[in-house]
Structure 1
Amino acid sequence: MSNFKKLAGQTAVYGLSSILGRSINFLMIIVYTEYLTKEAMGSFTSIYALIGFMNIVFTYGMETTFFRFATGKNLDANKVYNSTQSLLVTSTLLLGTGLYLMAPLLADWLEYPGQAYLFRWTALILSFDAILAIPFAKLRLENKALIFAGTKIFNIFLNIFFNLLLIVGFPYLIANGIISEGFLGYRSDWGVEYILLSNLLANGLIIPFVWWKAGFFQFKLEGTIIKPMWTYSIPLLFMGLAGVTNELFSRFLFEYVLPPNFYAGLSAREAGGVFGANFKLAIMMNLVIQAFKYAAEPFFFKQAQDKNSPLLYAKVMHVFILFCTVLMIAISVNLEWMGPLFLRQSGYEEGLFIVPTLLMGYMLLGIYFNLSIWFKITDQTKYSFWITLVGAILTIAIIFVFVPIWGYLGGALSTISCYFVMCLLCYLYGQKYYPIPYQTGKGIFYLLFSFSLSYLGFYLNIGIPVLDFFLRNSLILIYIGLIFFLEKEQIMAYFPKSKKY
């Protein structure tokens, strides 16, 4: 129980940085949809999907590899840190330079003529992220959660500050004659440019601090350390590539697959902006998963040698499902007022109906992360490649087949379908090679029942706003009551029995 409480405590701390920080970042969707055009939102959606994909290439599974080898019995953690960071810095210089030089070709290929600078900035953002990855991982491994969380929050506040300054502040000052157009090279016709520039500045400014707190590394490439790490990480690279294909390609490909004039009055890029903005509403589920991942990955590796670890992993999975299903219902039943609150311009509400599906997709991603522990601690990462490759192929197939037919819904189905298949395959192989006593029947019941309640609450409409609000939110209470009824014995086990005198 103490281990479980430790994981919960660290998840809470990491959650502070992930949920608080990203929630503030999430609120920027209000600014973007208020001040930027739908076309700029479409560019934002597709370019950041590309960044998410390339980020995997730049780090190629080295975070998980670092945890695996730094916690090993026969290796010195500092030597592993030096070798891993040295390798990443070297590869980042090569990859970053290559992408920087290819920027004009990328701009033409992705239909951004004359905007090669967008992809040069993208190369710099990716490079900064890569050289920060292992120092951040070292802070997690050393349980320096407060430093990790504080730095992440500061980084996000910097990003928000630059966004507000460039997207809101400067236009206000120009409109009121305080500064003139062209001040410091400012251009009023830029949109997504200022999102990228803000990201670049915020990430670059924290590099010295993170390196200082994690410990400056010595440049050493020790073959005896790097060779087995490389063997371990390569399957994780392909797993990561397939994984971001599943997560991001629906947003990246959407504007290129959607037929012209599919949505009246919207270009394909503008429709991609609507799709991407509604995807953002599901980010609250992803925030929980990210916070959990930060705490769980090093925790799972440290507990791997304990004979009771399978039982602990099963308990973690069950609590994860319970918490996330409640969150899914809570968001889904309140989308009627949350949508207009966050998506400021008209037209974005057309995509709200896909949000519950996206929430379930993100939850399945979190479940997959729980399930995937078996091949990480048994060094069977080759299975990760095949499982995520199946998911990636399914994602791309569904996008090309169903987006031209169903538009936004086709894109959402690509997310939920691929993660369902990945979970199924990972569970079946995991139970064969590393059995974990998951409460599978209960888990499936909670997933299906909560998903049904989510759409019931979304479409519930009596016609009286106040009554609709209370009826929808009563579904949350009904579901929580069901949990207490079915989990009564487990819940009571957490409370010590009172002594009788």
Structure 2
Amino acid sequence: MSQLKKLAGQTAIYGLSSILGRSINFLLIIVYTAYLDKAALGAFTGIYALIGFLNIVFTYGMETAFFRFSTRKNLDPAKVYHSSQSLLITSSLILGSGMYLLAPWLSEVMNYPDQAYLFRWTALILSFDAILAIPFAKLRLENRAIAFAGAKLINILFNVLFNLLLIIWIPGWIESGNLEQGFLGFQQDWGVEYILLSNLLANGLIIPFVWWRAGFFRFTLEKEIIKPMWKYSLPLLFMGLAGVTNELVSRLLFEYVLPVNYFPGVTSREAAGIFGANFKLAILMNLVIQAFKYAAEPFFFRQSTDKNSPQLYAKVMHAFILFCSLLMIAISVNLFWIGPLFLKGAAYATGFYIVPVLLMGYLLLGVYFNLSIWFKVTDKTSYSFWITFIGALVSVAIIVGLVPVWGFMGGALSTLGCYLVMTVICFGYGQKFYPIPYQTGKAILYLVLAFALSYGGFYLDLQSQEMNFFAKNTAVLIFLGLVVLLEKDQLNSLFSLKKKKA
């Protein structure tokens, strides 16, 4: 119980910072939908899908390798830190330079003619992200959650301030006559350009602070450390590529596979903007999973040598499914007011119906992360590639097959389908190589019921907003009631333990 409480506490700190930070960042979608056109939102969706994909290439699984090798008793954690950080700096310079030179070609391939500067900025953003990966991982490994959270929040605040300055304030000052036209080369017709530029400036400014908080590092590449780390992380690179394909490919490919005039009066790029904006409504689930990963990954590795670790992993999984199922229902049934609050414009409401599917997809991604501990602690990381590669194939097949037929729902189902397949395969192999006593029957029951209640509440429609709110949220109470009924013994044990301590 104390270990679960420790993990919950760490997750709460990461979660608070992530939710606060992402909530601030999420408010930018209000700015984008209010001040930029749908084509700019489509460009934002496509380019950031590319950034998400290439982020994996630039870091190539070195974070997880850092956790694994820093917790080995025969290695000096400081040497692991110095070598892994030095390796990432070197590779970032090489990869970033290559992408910078290829920017004109990328701009043509992705249909952004004469905008090579977008991909030069993207190369710098990716390089900055990569050289921050190991210092952030070191803060997590050392349980310095507050330092980690503080750095992330500062970065997000910088990003938000630059977005507001470039998208709202400077154009307003120019329009009011307080600044001259062309101030500092300001371009009135830019949209996604200022989103990327804000990100670039924010990431560049945070580097010295993060390096200072993580501690001094010495540039060194020790072969006896780098070689086994590379062998361990290489399958994770391919796993990451396949995994990010699963997560982002629908947003990256959507505008290219959607038939022309599928949505009357809306271009394919504008439809991609609507699709990408609705992905943002599933952000709360993604935040919880991200916060959980920040806390759980180093926690899982530290506990891996304990003989009771399988039982602990099972308890963590069960608690995770309960919490995230409840969250999925709460978001889904309240989309009728959450959606319009954040996405300004009636066009975006046409995609609200896919959000419960996206929430379930993200939930299954979290389940997969829990399950994946077996190949990380047994050093069988090669399985990770094949599992995620199969998921990527499923994702692409669904996008190509269903987006031309079902539009937004086809893209959402690609997310759900690939994570469902990955979860099933990972569970099967995990129980073979590293058995963990998960409560599988209950987990399936909770997930199926949560999905049904989510859509039941979403489609329930009464005459007034007040009646809708109370009627729809009965789905939350139904789920809570079932949890109390089925988890009665565990809850009694928990509360009796608290009484004894009191």
TM-score range, shorter chain: over 0.9
Map 1:448-463; keep pairs closer than 5 Å.
448-463=448-463
- The answer on 1:262 being equivalent to 2:262 is yes
User: What is the Cα deviation at residue 174 of structure 1?
Assistant: 1.4
User: What is the Cα deviation at residue 210 of structure 1?
Assistant: 0.8
CA deviation profile, 1:172-220 (whole Å, cap 9, x unmatched)? 1112111122111111100011110010011100101111111121111
1:386 corresponds to which residue?
386
1:406 corresponds to which residue?
406
- Give the TM-score taking structure 1 as reference length: 0.99
CA deviation profile, 1:276-325 (whole Å, cap 9, x unmatched)? 00011001100000000000000000000111100000000000000001
- Which secondary structure does the structure 2 equivalent of 1:27 belong to? helix
Map 1:434-445; keep pairs closer than 5 Å.
434-445=434-445
Map 1:86-165; keep pairs closer than 5 Å.
86-165=86-165
Counterpart of 2:108, as a letter, is D
2:417 corresponds to which residue?
417
CA deviation profile, 1:42-76 (whole Å, cap 9, x unmatched)? 00000000000000000000000000000001100
Counterpart of 1:42, as a letter, is G
Counterpart of 1:372, as a letter, is S
User: What is the Cα deviation at residue 170 of structure 1?
Assistant: 1.0
2:32 corresponds to which residue?
32
- The answer on 1:45 being equivalent to 2:48 is no
1:369 corresponds to which residue?
369
- Which secondary structure does the structure 1 equivalent of 2:473 belong to? helix
User: What is the Cα deviation at residue 463 of structure 1?
Assistant: 2.5
Q: 2:474 and 2:174 mapped to 1: Cα distance?
A: 48
Q: 1:17 and 1:51 mapped to 2: Cα distance?
A: 23
- Which secondary structure does the structure 2 equivalent of 1:493 belong to? helix
Q: 1:23 and 1:365 mapped to 2: Cα distance?
A: 21
2:61 corresponds to which residue?
61
Q: Unaligned 5+ residue runs, structure 2?
A: none
User: What is the Cα deviation at residue 18 of structure 1?
Assistant: 1.1
- Which secondary structure does the structure 2 equivalent of 1:307 belong to? coil
Q: 2:401 and 2:259 mapped to 1: Cα distance?
A: 12
CA deviation profile, 1:418-465 (whole Å, cap 9, x unmatched)? 000000000000000000000000000000001000000110012333
Larger CA deviation: 115-124 vs 168-177:
168-177
Q: Unaligned 5+ residue runs, structure 1?
A: none
1:285 corresponds to which residue?
285
- Identical residues among aligned pairs (%): 70
2:320 corresponds to which residue?
320
CA deviation profile, 1:75-134 (whole Å, cap 9, x unmatched)? 000000111011111100000000000000000110001100000000000000000000
2:232 corresponds to which residue?
232
Counterpart of 2:383, as a letter, is Y
Counterpart of 1:402, as a letter, is L
Q: 1:198 and 1:239 mapped to 2: Cα distance?
A: 30
1:350 corresponds to which residue?
350
Q: 1:17 and 1:121 mapped to 2: Cα distance?
A: 27
2:71 corresponds to which residue?
71
Counterpart of 2:494, as a letter, is Y
Q: 1:332 and 1:189 mapped to 2: Cα distance?
A: 36
2:467 corresponds to which residue?
467
Counterpart of 2:373, as a letter, is I
- The answer on 1:11 being equivalent to 2:36 is no
2:170 corresponds to which residue?
170
CA RMSD of aligned residues (A): 0.9
Q: 2:186 and 2:482 mapped to 1: Cα distance?
A: 56
Number of aligned pairs? 499
User: What is the Cα deviation at residue 496 of structure 1?
Assistant: 3.2
Q: 1:312 and 1:465 mapped to 2: Cα distance?
A: 43
- Which secondary structure does the structure 2 equivalent of 1:100 belong to? helix
Q: 2:422 and 2:246 mapped to 1: Cα distance?
A: 10
- Which secondary structure does the structure 1 equivalent of 2:159 belong to? helix
